Amino acid sequence: MLRKSVYSLAAVIAGLGAAFAGSAGAHAADAAPTTAAAKTACVTDAKLVPSCNVLWGAAAGGFTGKPRDMELRNWEKLSGRTSTIFHTYHKGDEKFPTPGEIAMSSDPAHPRVLLMNWRVEYGSNWRNVAAGKLDHRIDAFAARVKSTYADKKFFLILNHEPEDDVRPAAGSGMTAKDFRASFRHVIQRLRAEGVDNMVSVVAYMGNEKWMAQSWWKDLYPGDDVTDWIGLDSYVSAEPGYYHHGLFGDLVNRRAPGGAGFYDWAVKNHKSKPIMMAEWGAYHRINRVFDKSAQFNSVLPELAKRPAIKAIVYFDTKKDQFGDRDISINSSARSLATFKKLAANPLFNVKIG
């Protein structure tokens, strides 16, 4: 695809799954939680896990070259909800968090948490990162965080969607085990340098093609260096097109004979919250299809999958290949349905 909570959600939005099954999701986005959890102030803990409900976020303006902070503000106005998570992307020696990112997360009226995505290995490879050959990048980032951003928690993803970058040949420097070693080295070094406001995320593609590879199991960095498990996954609103389906399909794709991604994560890493670090519904450019079914399917699936504690939409009119529209407003009806989803109190969470 793209290149680059103590309370049970089932209790929070009880009955939505059945409603969706009976009506293809026609009314799911209109339903609002009415339980005690919905009336409780949901707050995040030291690892940014909400005590109840689900964190809401976005990355907007992808592949446009426009300032991401400006694009996110526009997207928030369009969708009707301020994002709790602001997903940004960086590589190599880029200096971040940027002034714009700091300003977005320092807005007193609408504080946002940064989800910073960093390809440390850019221009090199994972083996060199693990060997310490790019420690100057890690150390510079640590120093910058401690001097400009020490007072706020933030999420850090290292090389999202690593499956697409794996080169399994021995000596490539980009094997799955190289990724694991690289991830471990960066997180451990940042922690050793006193970056204690970082919450680490490993973000997979969760594509059945990659999950079927013998090396896929070697990617996971280890519970000791992983705070959240992330997933970047998309679904088509266009019948008959690649990965046509609903929200439940994108969170739990499975290799033939294997477990779905969500099932794998909750079975093997029970203590780890799951983040949809990127998600979206698409159709091909100039072939507009209503995305209401996809957007209406979100709440029932979250009710069935309580380990998902955050969802972050990736919005763009054109993906990196220029052939898919992942925007929420590709049609008026799609936007209206998404706005109903965004308005749901399930996404009311206060940053602690």
Best CA proximity match to 247, nearest among 214, 202, 280: 280
Average pLDDT over residues 310-337: 93
If you average pLDDT over every residue of the chain, what do you get? 90
* C-alpha pair distances (Å), 195 with each of 142, 206, 254: 6, 29, 36
- Residue 135 CB neighbours (<10 A): 15
Question: Has this prediction a pTM greater than 0.85?
Answer: yes
pLDDT tens-digit profile of 82-115? Answer: 999 999 999 999 999 999 999 999 998 888 999 9
**In whole angstroms, what is the distance from residue 282 CA to residue 263 CA?**
24
Hey, what are 231's tokens? 């997933």
pLDDT band for position 39 (cuts 50, 70, 90)? low
pLDDT digits (tens, 9 = 90+) for 47-90: 999 999 999 999 998 777 788 899 999 999 999 999 999 999 99
